[in-house]
């Protein structure tokens, strides 16, 4: 119990209430409020204003509003009362309410209640976040009439309001006319330019700040660091961080988050992790965790992302994941095809009642379900969304495309067109890929030919690459080559890779060599290029060339990425590498495989030995087809799944042709559907046929 042996009066309370508000000492504040009421001081407007501000700071909007309403009823409310209640709504991000209350104050048309500088500084940011620049402009006019614009806080708020409304030229004009500027004015403009993508101008201003010897503060540095990181310029971000350290400025958590995302973009997750470990546990908030989870999900091992997510949930400081965190975790699930964890996170989302208005969480769910092999679940998420954006539609179409359900993808596209949504280059890329994976050559060609005329979307090199892919898969290699020659821009490496893969499927050595030569010119050969070429030579029995490629790889230091497949078990995911014998069930796995191969040989299966040379630098292990990781994963799946349950396998590279054939035979004699995701698409293999129908 609070015991006071002195009697505070109307001059005392505002001070103590202010302290309670700033320290968020809600219980103390409430006690004082009771004492105020008990001593009848609640008729004193100065005291009431203190109470309103205290409740506002502590987040008790209802209490603040009640006290405020009482002052209004008593007709004692002054500008400060109004400013205090508006500030309370500002704190809750109730932008519309902020504007409403401000209007109400103005409409009372009382000389005493004319908005002052503080009122403007409260209401301008709300205009900014609502994009209401016309309202902001009116306020600017009012500020000028009353000479409030000379107040540097008001000036800064106006600059920021225009910047948030993406009207950087207006913001700049106000900025240049400000007689007194401070570092906040500069920072508002720098971040404004950076956030709308005019990063060069942001950097120009940053340079000017350095020249004019403005005292850069931690906000300035953080803004520039994150600006670089957001544009995937991780190393530049890290350089600015070095400059910051040299300048003697002390980084804070926000700076470190920007720096962490810089390290993530450079795939330096070890350094990022060390830095994260160094951050005081109390400073690790949801954003700090999220940037690490997102870093692992996108630029590192997605398994680490999920582990970190799980340790975040268990952390003693109990940080609650928000929509960003959930998205990052779902990205990790999508990369791993982890349907089980993805479903758990979906359930968590539903339980926690993340508003369905957070479109991007739902978009991530669509992507996760599609990439985990359950595009029907993706559809359900899509159907249940109250609002959708372009990404929602394209994600669903991508899902149908990956699973070879091209017709459904095109249906979605038609509905999307009907909704009048903007159709851009990405949309067409998705449409074309859907056509490609379903072998819809003419439809794809038709869309490609009409995208410019009917939609005003000029085909880029990626669209050409996709058409090469469509024609190539269908074996129309001459047409593909002609299209390359007709390209209005230089063919990119993606184009040549598409042609090269088509040459593998359709066994065209000459064209393959041309494509490989082009890739070499562009200096973008990778292990995939060499593997493809080696397979093509092996298929043509040109063993000398196979050997030549092998030597070439050794000299250039390019190693084939090891093939690796993982299969979703009931409780956990099990990973297999080529020739893997680490698993305790290895003996059973190999026995089963030998048995299966023996049985399907009797059904007509002939091992395609050209694929045995997949692993050109891995002679010992890779030569045995039976040891390919996808076959091991399948055998494990059969051994551990109940009859009728689909076996879900994911492979980091494209599935090997022999494995694909073998699995198709095996699907006739097992009671499981095989759902196989490789780096290119999904294969649903059942009763001796595959959904890819040869288009891979």
Partner DNA sequence: CTAGGGTTAG
128 Cβ contact partners less than 8 Å away, ≥ 6 residues apart:
136, 160, 161, 162, 163, 164, 165
Scan residues 106-135 and list those touching DNA (CB under 7 A). Answer: 117-118, 121-122, 125, 128
Segment (H or E) for 107: helix 95-107
Q: CA-CA distances (angstroms) from residue 579 to 624, 663, 676? A: 8, 18, 19
Q: Which is nearer to DNA, 210 or 559 (CB)?
A: 210
- Is 217 among the residues that bind DNA (CB under 7 A)? yes
Find the binding residues for DNA in span 354-373 (CB under 7 A): 359-360, 363-364, 367
Question: Least separation, in Å, of the C-beta of 609 and DNA?
Answer: 33
d(Cα 371, Cα 651) in Å, to the nearest integer?
Answer: 12
* 567 sits in which H/E element: strand 564-568
Residues from 526 through 545 that contact DNA (CB under 7 A): none
Give min distance, CB of 7 to DNA, in A.
28
Positions 572 through 591 that interact with DNA (CB under 7 A): none
Nearer to DNA, 422 or 694 (CB): 422
Nearer to DNA, 57 or 614 (CB): 57
Of 49, 81, 140, 191, which lies in the binding site for DNA, with binding defined by CB under 7 A?
Answer: 191
The answer to whether residues 655 and 678 touch, using CB atoms and an 8 Å cutoff, is yes
Other beta carbons within 10 Å of 165 = 23
Q: Could you tell me which stretch among 30-38, 93-101, 418-426, 502-510 binds DNA (CB under 7 A)?
A: 418-426
Q: Which residue in 595, 574, 550, 541 sits closest to 649, CA to CA?
A: 574
Distance CA 563, CA 149 (A): 65
The residue (of 192 and 563) whose beta carbon lies closer to DNA is 192
User: Which listed residue (30, 70, 462, 479) binds DNA by CB under 7 A?
Assistant: 462
Distance CA 114, CA 323 (A): 40
Burial 628-650 (b: 16+ CB within 10 A, else e): bbbbbbbbbbbeebeeeebbbbb
Q: Could you give the CA distance from residue 378 to residue 298 in angstroms, rounded to a whole number?
A: 21
Does residue 522 interact with DNA by CB under 7 A? no
Which of the residues 224 through 253 are near DNA (CB under 7 A)? 226, 229-230, 252-253
For DNA, the binding residues in 333-352 under the rule CB under 7 A are 334
Chosen residue from 71, 261, 535, 691 binding DNA by CB under 7 A: 261
* CA–CA separation, 380 and 375 (whole Å): 9
Q: Which tokens go with 371?
A: 């990439």
Q: What angle do CA 468, 469, 473 make, to 5 degrees?
A: 115
Closest approach, Cβ 509 to DNA, in A, equals 28
Nearest CB to DNA, comparing residues 367 and 658: 367
Q: Does 81 bind DNA (CB under 7 A)?
A: no
Binding mask of the shown chain, residues 610 to 639, with x at each position contacting DNA by CB under 7 A: ------------------------------
Residue placing its CB nearer to DNA in the complex, 331 or 616: 331
How far is it, in rounded angstroms, from Cα 277 to Cα 135? 46
Mode of pairing for the β-strands spanning 564-568 and 647-651: antiparallel
How near is the Cβ of 236 to DNA at its closest, in Å? 14
Q: Which of 49, 140, 222, 664 binds DNA (CB under 7 A)?
A: 222
Under DSSP, the state recorded for 672 is: S
- Which of 31, 76, 390, 640 contacts DNA by CB under 7 A? 390
Q: Is residue 328 close enough to count as binding DNA by CB under 7 A?
A: yes
Cβ closer to DNA: 240 or 536?
240
184 near DNA, rule: CB under 7 A: yes
Interface mask (CB under 7 A) for DNA, residues 420-439, using x and -? ----xxxx-xx--x------
The nearest distance, CB 452 to DNA, in angstroms, is 16
Note whether 285 binds DNA by CB under 7 A. yes
Encoding tokens for residue 621?
Answer: 């292990």
Pairing of strands 674-677, 682-686: antiparallel
258 belongs to the binding site for DNA (CB under 7 A): yes
Residue 184, CB-side half-sphere exposure with 13 Å CA sphere: 11
* 378 vs 369: CA distance, rounded Å: 5
Q: Considering beta carbons, is residue 429 or 613 the nearer one to DNA?
A: 429
């Amino acid at each position: 119990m609070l015991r006071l042996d002195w009697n505070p009066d109307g001059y005392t309370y505002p001070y103590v209430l202010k302290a309670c508000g700033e320290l968020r000492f809600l219980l103390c504040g409430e006690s004082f409020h009771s004492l105020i009421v008990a001593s009848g001081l609640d008729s004193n407007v100065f005291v009431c204003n203190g109470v309103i501000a205290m409740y506002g700071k502590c987040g008790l909007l209802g209490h603040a509003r009640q006290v405020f309403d009482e002052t209004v009823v008593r007709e004692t409310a002054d500008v400060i009362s109004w400013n205090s209640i508006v500030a309370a709504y500002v704190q809750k991000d109730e932008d519309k309410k902020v504007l409403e209350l401000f209007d109400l104050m103005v409409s009372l048309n009382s000389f005493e209640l004319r908005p002052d500088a503080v009122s403007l500084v409260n209401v301008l940011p709300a205009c900014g976040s609502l994009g209401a620049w016309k309202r902001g402009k009116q306020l600017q006019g009012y500020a000028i009439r009353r000479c409030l614009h000379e107040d540097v806080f008001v000036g800064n708020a106006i600059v920021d309001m225009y910047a948030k409304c993406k009207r950087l030229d207006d913001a700049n004009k106000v900025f240049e006319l400000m007689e007194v500027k401070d570092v906040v004015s500069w920072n508002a403009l720098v971040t404004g330019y950076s956030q709308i993508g005019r990063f060069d101008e942001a950097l120009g201003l940053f340079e000017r700040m350095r020249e004019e010897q403005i005292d850069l503060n931690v906000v300035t540095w953080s803004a520039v660091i994150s600006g670089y990181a957001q544009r995937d310029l991780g190393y530049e971000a890290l350089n600015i961080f070095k400059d910051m350290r040299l300048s003697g400025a002390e980084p804070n958590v926000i700076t470190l988050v920007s720096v962490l995302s810089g390290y993530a973009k450079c795939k330096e997750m070890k350094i990022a992790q060390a830095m994260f470990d160094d951050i005081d546990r109390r400073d690790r908030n949801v954003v700090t965790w999220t940037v690490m989870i997102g870093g692992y999900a996108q630029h590192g091992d997605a398994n680490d992302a999920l582990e970190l997510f799980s340790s975040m949930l268990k952390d003693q400081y109990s940080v609650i994941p928000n929509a960003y965190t959930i998205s990052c975790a779902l990205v990790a699930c999508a990369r791993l095809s982890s349907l089980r964890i993805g479903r758990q996170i979906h359930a968590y989302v539903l339980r926690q009642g993340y508003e369905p208005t957070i479109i991007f969480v739902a978009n991530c769910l669509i992507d996760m379900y599609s990439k985990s092999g359950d595009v029907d679940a993706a559809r359900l998420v899509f159907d249940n969304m109250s609002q959708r954006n372009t990404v929602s539609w394209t994600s669903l179409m991508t899902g149908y495309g990956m699973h070879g359900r091209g017709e459904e993808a095109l249906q979605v596209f038609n509905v999307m067109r009907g909704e009048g949504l903007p159709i851009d280059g990405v949309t067409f890329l998705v449409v074309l890929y859907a056509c490609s994976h379903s072998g819809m050559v003419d439809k794809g060609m038709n869309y490609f030919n009409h995208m410019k005329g009917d939609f005003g979307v000029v085909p880029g090199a990626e669209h050409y690459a996709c058409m090469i892919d469509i024609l190539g898969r269908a074996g129309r290699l001459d047409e593909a080559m002609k299209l390359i020659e007709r390209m209005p821009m230089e063919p990119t490496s993606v184009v040549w890779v598409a042609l090269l893969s088509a040459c593998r499927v359709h066994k065209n050595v000459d064209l393959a060599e041309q494509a490989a030569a082009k890739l070499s010119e562009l200096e973008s050969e990778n292990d995939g290029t060499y593997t493809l070429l080696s397979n093509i030579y092996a298929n043509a029995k040109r063993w000398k060339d196979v050997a030549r490629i092998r030597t070439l790889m050794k000299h250039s230091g390019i190693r084939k990425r090891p093939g690796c497949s993982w299969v979703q078990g009931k409780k956990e995911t099990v990973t297999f590498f080529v020739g893997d014998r680490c698993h305790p069930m290895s003996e059973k796995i190999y026995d089963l495989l030998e048995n299966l191969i023996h049985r399907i040989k009797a059904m007509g299966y002939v091992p395609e030995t050209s694929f045995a040379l997949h692993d050109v630098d891995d002679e010992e292990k890779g030569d045995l087809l039976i040891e390919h990781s996808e076959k091991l994963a399948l055998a494990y799946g059969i051994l551990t799944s109940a009859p009728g349950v689909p076996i879900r396998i994911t492979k980091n590279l494209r599935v090997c042709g022999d494995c694909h054939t073998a699995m198709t035979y095996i699907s006739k004699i097992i009671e499981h559907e095989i759902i196989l995701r490789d780096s290119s698409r999904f294969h649903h293999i059942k009763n001796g046929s595959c959904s890819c129908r040869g288009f891979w």
